[in-house]
């Protein structure tokens, strides 16, 4: 096959173009959301994954580093989607983790003994804060939420250890992933405050 014909074959998007798309879309969403006072616009931005689909949002932002605006937004939308899809599990993990992580609980802003609707409301409020409040505070709230959930997942893993060791390992890995996400969100908040979250 000659090089011209090979160039015509469909393939993966150029990484530089993917990065440009990620930054452009994330920046446009945040600028537009922060420039409006229309609650319907903010509601549509919060529900982005529900209307566009997780795969579409992932195609734009999932490969973005965590210390970038698209990377931070990706983490917030994935967290909201998890809460939206499995609020009972999230509420249970939150209740388990809250006693061991009271400072994070205070920052996350979840009601005492939260139920599924309560954790959904917090996930929506955190994401709304990206567009209507201080973005750094929204990122820190999400980080605190992840820390409490990580603690709850670790306790859950301890309970599973004798009953189902494989499930316990999965839970432990999930807890570690939540801690990493929390750290990434805190770093993104620091960069936003320094006007360096691009």
pLDDT on residue 3: 55
> What does the pLDDT average to over 166-195?
96
> How far is CA 103 from each of CA 25, 99, 181, rounded to the nearest angstrom?
34, 10, 17
pLDDT on residue 18: 87
CA distance 54 to 150: 23
pLDDT, one tens digit per residue, over 46-72 is: 999 999 999 999 999 999 999 999 999
pLDDT, one tens digit per residue, over 114-129 is: 899 999 999 999 999 9
Polymer length of the chain = 198
pLDDT > 70: percent of the chain: 93
* Cα dihedral across residues 14, 17, 23, 25: positive or negative: negative
Confidence check: pLDDT of 136 > 80: yes
pLDDT on residue 10: 53
**Average per-residue pLDDT for the chain:** 90
pLDDT, one tens digit per residue, over 176-186 is: 999 999 999 99
Could you tell me the residue ranges of all domains in the chain? 12-87+97-193
């Amino acid at each position: 096959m000659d090089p011209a014909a090979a160039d015509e074959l469909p393939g993966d998007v150029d990484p530089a173009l993917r990065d440009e798309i990620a930054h452009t879309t994330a920046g446009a969403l945040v600028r537009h959301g922060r420039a409006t006072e229309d609650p319907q616009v903010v509601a549509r931005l919060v529900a982005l994954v529900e209307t566009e689909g997780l795969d579409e949002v992932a195609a734009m932002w999932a490969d973005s580093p965590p210390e970038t605006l698209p990377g931070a937004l990706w983490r917030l939308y994935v967290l909201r989607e998890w809460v939206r899809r499995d609020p009972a599990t999230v509420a249970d993990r939150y209740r388990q983790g809250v006693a061991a992580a009271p400072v994070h609980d205070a920052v996350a802003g979840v009601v005492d003994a939260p139920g599924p609707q309560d954790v959904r409301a917090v996930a929506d409020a955190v994401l709304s804060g990206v567009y209507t409040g201080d973005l750094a505070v929204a990122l820190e709230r999400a980080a605190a939420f992840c820390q409490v959930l990580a603690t709850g997942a670790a306790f859950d893993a301890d309970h599973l250890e004798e009953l189902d060791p494989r499930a316990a390992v999965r839970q432990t890995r999930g807890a570690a992933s939540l801690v990493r996400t929390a750290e990434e969100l805190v770093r993104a908040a620091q960069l936003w405050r320094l006007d360096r979250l691009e």
